[in-house]
């Protein structure tokens, strides 16, 4: 009899996408899939008709627009508000599926930031596996947060932020994910809750691969030895191409890329949440124009703070760049990065974007904004050495220079060669005999081993 898995993504683009990719991977391994989701940023059920979708009633369907300043507050708020409705919904799913001639629920898989779900799963005698959507290095850094707090690193200011973290090379103080948040104490509490409940879970899944993060993966396994760790990435290379984007991509940019020279275009996109000041936006725009390099730039609504829906581009910008530049509201990113015309990616270094760039062999310019993006950028530049990072205030002259370093100069060519090697390792990792392939097989066996006796007894006695 097939077993059913219940998955619960966080309602943010960078979290929801890999959870749905994971769902498709596990579906291909013979599991049936149920998706519990909030009505806020609900996934499109039509894209995955082979899943069963269960919306949580009254789950902030009219939630206020959020930005980087209040994402932490939103997550904490949801963790408090959803306990009862989630518990009732999950209990109903488990009870229904365990009835005669139905598929028994093997386990619950949730985003790591849904820390409240561990207690719910325990009360239902249901194993919970955690998906952490950042890279392994960032997740391991979270384990160090109590040490960082004790040593005063979380209160570093000014020039102190440029100092190195002795316990965690190559990080600088400013790379610690809690810095840059409006309420560091609240963020610290969220991180500690996430780590505590992950340790209490039945396993941890990471969207990465061993050849990229062997040291960090080994460190995590030592930090939480009671539970197994499954590094089965890259997810997006193991599922059929489909969009779970919360924005509609502009496919016309592919036609524009088709007439550009190989490796000539800089793709610029800062993800679905990050927001920048108008002054920074203007410096980026003029730096792009002055670089004389072709570019495809995603300028989504909300990218520029306080732009009030108005076109934030400098006056005369499109005339200045003419046919050399293309500006869209959203792009089909995986297709763009795989296009032979794209030779560089200017990114906020969210983990999905970083991993997609690695898998297509495209070197990066890094403009991290908050959270795990800071660590991702540090690893891109200082560990894997496949990109440049804007460390200081953006200035158009510096933007122009670093774009040319990446797209034209020898440094960029050398990074492209390193990226080709990482791309090959990513491809091999998911092939039979590769570490991600083997880890996925172990995950399937782990899920299949969960006993349903205790869970069945629980519901038979009610």
Per-residue model confidence as pLDDT tens digits over 218-243: 999 999 989 999 999 999 999 977 65
**How many domains does the chain fold into?**
2
Beta-carbon contacts of 113 under 8 Å, excluding residues fewer than 6 positions away, are: 10, 15, 75, 79, 190, 194
CA–CA separation, 224 and 215 (whole Å):
15
Per-residue tokens: 4? 């059913």
Does some domain include residue 169? yes
Does some domain include residue 247? no
- DSSP-derived secondary structure letter, 172: B
Note whether 407 and 440 are same-domain residues.
no
**What SS3 class is residue 27?**
helix
Note whether 147 and 84 are same-domain residues.
yes
Kindly report the pTM of this predicted structure: 0.94
Note whether 418 and 442 are same-domain residues.
no
Note whether 64 and 81 are same-domain residues.
yes
The alpha helices in 224-274, defined as continuous H runs, are 252-257
CA–CA separation, 414 and 391 (whole Å):
21
Beta-carbon contacts of 94 under 8 Å, excluding residues fewer than 6 positions away, are: 6, 105, 124, 126, 455, 459
The pLDDT of residue 456? 47
CA–CA separation, 384 and 38 (whole Å):
37
Note whether 304 and 166 are same-domain residues.
no
Residue 163: closest CA among 147, 145, 150, 176: 176
Radius of gyration of the chain (CA): 22
- Report, as ranges of residue numbers, the positions in the chain whose pLDDT lies below 70: 58-69, 98-101, 242-244, 246, 308-309, 451-462
Does some domain include residue 37? yes
Note whether 182 and 273 are same-domain residues.
no
Does some domain include residue 221? yes
The full 3-state SS of 139-168, as one line of letters, equals HHHHHCHHHHHHCCHHHCCHHHHHCECCCC
Note whether 265 and 140 are same-domain residues.
no
Residue 389: closest CA among 371, 413, 368: 368
- DSSP-derived secondary structure letter, 280: H
Does some domain include residue 361? yes
Contact 38, 59 (CB under 8 A): yes
Q: How far is CA 246 from CA 49, 126, 242, 273, in A?
A: 17, 31, 12, 11
Does some domain include residue 245? no
Contact 216, 137 (CB under 8 A): yes
Note whether 372 and 450 are same-domain residues.
no
Contact 200, 188 (CB under 8 A): no
Note whether 419 and 446 are same-domain residues.
no
The pLDDT of residue 59? 64
Question: Residue 120 belongs to what domain range?
Answer: 4-238+430-460
Laid out side by side, the sheet with 4-8 consists of 52-55, 32-37, 4-8, 105-111, 128-132, 204-206, 229-231
**What SS3 class is residue 256?**
helix
Residue 115: closest CA among 72, 54, 174, 56: 72
Note whether 141 and 176 are same-domain residues.
yes
Per-residue tokens: 136? 């392994």
Whether a cis peptide bond, with omega within 30° of 0, leads into 170 is: yes
Residue 191: closest CA among 78, 76, 65: 76
Does some domain include residue 246? no
Note whether 205 and 264 are same-domain residues.
no
Note whether 45 and 118 are same-domain residues.
yes
Does some domain include residue 243? no
CA–CA separation, 30 and 445 (whole Å):
12
Q: What is the CATH number of the domain that holds 410?
A: 3.40.50.2000
Per-residue tokens: 224? 């939480």
């Amino acid at each position: 009899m097939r077993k059913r898995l219940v998955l619960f993504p966080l309602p943010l683009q960078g979290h929801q996408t890999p959870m749905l990719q994971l769902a498709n991977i596990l579906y291909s391994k013979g599991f049936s899939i149920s998706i519990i989701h909030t009505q806020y940023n609900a996934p499109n059920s039509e894209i995955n008709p082979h899943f069963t979708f269960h919306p949580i009633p009254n789950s902030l369907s009219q939630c206020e627009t959020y930005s980087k300043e209040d994402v932490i507050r939103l997550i904490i708020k949801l963790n408090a508000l959803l306990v009862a409705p989630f518990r009732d919904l999950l209990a109903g799913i488990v009870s229904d599926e365990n009835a005669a001639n139905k598929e028994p629920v093997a386990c619950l898989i949730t985003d790591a930031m849904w820390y409240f779900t561990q207690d719910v799963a325990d009360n239902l005698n249901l194993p919970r596996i955690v998906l952490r959507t950042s890279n392994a290095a960032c997740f391991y850094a979270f384990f160090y947060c109590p040490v960082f707090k004790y040593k005063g690193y979380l209160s570093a200011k000014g020039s102190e932020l440029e100092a190195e973290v002795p316990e965690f090379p190559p990080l600088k103080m400013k790379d610690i994910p809690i810095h840059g948040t409006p309420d560091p104490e609240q963020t610290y509490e969220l991180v500690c809750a996430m780590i505590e409940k992950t340790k209490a879970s039945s396993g941890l899944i990471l969207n990465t691969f061993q050849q990229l993060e062997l040291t960090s993966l080994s460190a995590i396994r030592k930090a939480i030895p009671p539970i197994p760790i499954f590094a089965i990435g890259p997810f997006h290379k193991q599922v059929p191409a489909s969009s779970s984007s919360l924005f509609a991509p502009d496919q016309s940019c592919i036609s524009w890329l088709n007439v550009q020279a190989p490796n000539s275009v800089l793709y610029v996109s800062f993800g679905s949440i990050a927001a920048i000041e108008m002054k920074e936006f203007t410096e980026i725009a003029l730096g792009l124009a002055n670089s004389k390099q072709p570019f495809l730039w995603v300028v989504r609504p909300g990218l520029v703070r306080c732009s009030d829906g108005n076109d934030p581009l400098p006056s005369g910008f499109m005339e200045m760049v003419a046919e050399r530049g293309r500006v869209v509201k959203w792009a089909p990113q995986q297709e763009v990065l795989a296009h032979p015309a794209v030779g560089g990616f200017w990114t906020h270094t969210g983990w999905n974007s970083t991993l997609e760039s690695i898998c297509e062999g495209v070197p990066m310019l890094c403009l991290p904004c908050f959270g795990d993006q800071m660590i991702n950028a540090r690893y891109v530049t200082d560990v894997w050495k496949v990109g440049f990072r804007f460390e200081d205030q953006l200035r158009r002259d510096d933007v122009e220079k670093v774009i040319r370093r990446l797209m034209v100069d020898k440094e960029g060519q050398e990074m492209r060669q390193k990226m080709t090697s990482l791309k090959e390792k990513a491809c091999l990792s998911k092939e039979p005999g590769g570490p991600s392939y083997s880890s996925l097989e172990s995950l399937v066996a782990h899920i299949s081993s969960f006993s349903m006796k205790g869970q069945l007894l629980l519901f038979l006695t009610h």
